[in-house]
Amino acid sequence: MTAQEIKDSLMRIKIPESRAKDSSTEKSIKDIPSIRELKTKIRELKLLASSWQEIPAIRELDFIEDFAENIRPEINDLENRLGEMFNALDFYNQYFCPKGWIAHESLNSEIMQLAVQFAKQEKMKEAEKILLSYYNHKNLDPMLMEFQNTEPFSKRFNIIEKANEDYESKRFSSCVLHLLITIDGSVNDIEDTGFFANKINLSAWDSIAGHSSGLGKLKELFNKNRKGTNTKEIFIPYRNGILHGRDINFNNKYVAAKCWSALIAIYDWAMALKDKGRTDPEKAPVPGLIEITRDFIQALRDKAIVLPRKLEIGKDVPEWGIPEQYELGSPERKAVEFMSYWQKKQWDRTTPMLQRNLSKIDIISEEEIGYFKIIQNEDPPQPIRILKIDDQNFNTTEVHILVNFAVGILQGERIIPLRFVYEAHDGTSIIRGNKAGDWFLVGKSIIPIDYNKK
């Protein structure tokens, strides 16, 4: 049977045509083109799964029986989980934009959904505390690497680094000032007018951050007029009040974290603007089901990219074992490999596993080397079991390992959180599973280990 005959048979299944629109004018974030396209593709896959027996051409496809029997539950699960996440996007902006937070592409979906859950229960204080705890060094470090290597943020990276140092040292007022000028200046380089300008256009086609309920609304909130000197503590980074000396009590983590959130959202908006433009491009041809049947496996693989895996230790993966017992290309296999080399003090094997220095291709940073010099002078801890595998975003996973240690007179158990990032060999961040990349260990995730801590 020819490809054309297969295509003709597949086309008997009629799929409603979806039309792309300017996402900045969509009433709902879940209606932006990329989300709508993903939902349409899932519907098409479900339709294919339920109709394949009726079409001779599909029955002849080698994989179709396995598809119907084994993949359909995966599609249903994917549809349900993505549906929950997409619905949370609009609720997030509804509840939290007035507080100074907006949804954007880099925001952890589980944190967003949990915050929305508390907000629906009218527990806004608890919800904001969840968001506040999210903006820590563990989650900011990957974004710092993006800022360092992306214009126009890289021009201001020295300022961003100072903001990060201030944030870690709880010098929040200084952090806020550094971030506010970074926000305004970065947008000015992109749009020839600053973030806080009245006529700034913060929309972007097919963007969560650039949705009409996102950055534009956040700018209006931050840019509110502040009349008279206010000595009461504020929890929103009112730009005019802060920079003009009207709001003088803003030295708190809430204001600083909301500035970080805004800057990261601007990064996501800038990337969408660069990749997809301001408005809807010319309409592309709607793919037929022949393309759907060819792409459905990749669509299911994308599930591991969009959503964190839910792995039960001891069931889905061994508590501990040899590397070959873990899935090839997984961060947990890398973790077991690293611990094995550490046990044997095979430093020639551990060093290539370190994260690349983004400013010097294929060179390990001096800081990372320094961490390894420390562990080379200590007896290796003895791994007991994996406690948790935490997929944090599209290219970052932490593998928490319980170990026994003996350092001098000290001995006991500690948890080592091995943090892996998925990168190309030139140090650029890419989506997990891309054949051009691999998992690399962030050296500072293992050293220093505080053995005195109970």
> Which residues have a Cβ under 8 Å from the Cβ of 352 and sit 6 or more positions away?
none
> In this prediction, what percent of the chain has a pLDDT beyond 90?
46
Predicted local distance difference test score (pLDDT) of residue 195: 95
Position 94 confidence tier, pLDDT thresholds 50, 70, 90: very high
> In this prediction, what percent of the chain has a pLDDT beyond 70?
73
Predicted local distance difference test score (pLDDT) of residue 61: 55
- Domain 323-445: which topology? Nuclear Transport Factor 2; Chain: A, (3.10.450)
Position 79 confidence tier, pLDDT thresholds 50, 70, 90: confident
Predicted local distance difference test score (pLDDT) of residue 51: 61
In this prediction, residues 211-225 reach a mean pLDDT of 95
For residue 395, pLDDT over 90 is answered with no
Residue-wise pLDDT for 99-123, tens only, equals 999 999 999 888 999 999 999 999 9
- Between 150 and 354, where is the model more confident? 150
Residue-wise pLDDT for 45-61, tens only, equals 777 666 656 655 555 55
Predicted local distance difference test score (pLDDT) of residue 91: 95
Position 443 confidence tier, pLDDT thresholds 50, 70, 90: confident
For residue 353, pLDDT over 80 is answered with yes
- Between 442 and 262, where is the model more confident? 262
Domain boundaries, the chain: 134-276, 323-445
Predicted local distance difference test score (pLDDT) of residue 378: 67
Predicted local distance difference test score (pLDDT) of residue 101: 98
Residue-wise pLDDT for 150-185, tens only, equals 999 999 999 999 999 999 999 999 999 999 999 999
In this prediction, residues 299-327 reach a mean pLDDT of 78
Residue 396 half-sphere exposure toward CB, CA atoms < 13 A? 17
- Between 68 and 120, where is the model more confident? 120
Taking each helix axis from N to C end, the angle separating 124-134 and 253-276, rounded to the nearest 10 degrees, works out to 70
What does residue 432 show for φ and ψ, rounded to 5 degrees?
-55, 140
In this prediction, residues 58-74 reach a mean pLDDT of 61
272 to each of 88, 191, 202, 211, how far by Cα in Å? 21, 14, 11, 11
For residue 368, pLDDT over 50 is answered with no
108 to each of 10, 184, 346, how far by Cα in Å? 38, 25, 36
Predicted local distance difference test score (pLDDT) of residue 390: 92
3-state SS string over the chain? CCHHHHHHHHCCCCCCCCCCCCHHHCCCHHHCHHHHHHHHHHHHHHHHHHHHHHCHHHHCCCCHHHHHHHHHHHHHHHHHHHHHHHHHHHHHHHHHHHHCCCCCCCCCHHHHHHHHHHHHCCCHHHHHHHHHHHCCHHHHHHHHHHHHCCCCCHHHHHHHHHHHHHHHCCCHHHHHHHHHHHHHHHHHHHHCCCCCCCCCCCCCCCCCCCCCCCHHHHHHHHCCCCCCCECCCCCCCCHHHHHCCCECCCCCHHHHHHHHHHHHHHHHHHHHHHHHCCCCCCCCCCCCHHHHHHHHHHHHHHHHHHCCCCCCECCCECCCCCHHHCCCCCHHHHHHHHHHHHHHCCHHHHHHHECEECCEEEEECHHHHHHHHHHHCCCCCEEEEEEEEEEEECCEEEEEEEEEEEECCEEEEEEEEEEEEEEECCCCECCCCCCCEEEEECHHHCCCCCCCCC
For residue 415, pLDDT over 80 is answered with yes
Tell me the residue length of the chain. 454
pLDDT, mean over the chain = 80
Predicted local distance difference test score (pLDDT) of residue 132: 95
Predicted local distance difference test score (pLDDT) of residue 24: 45
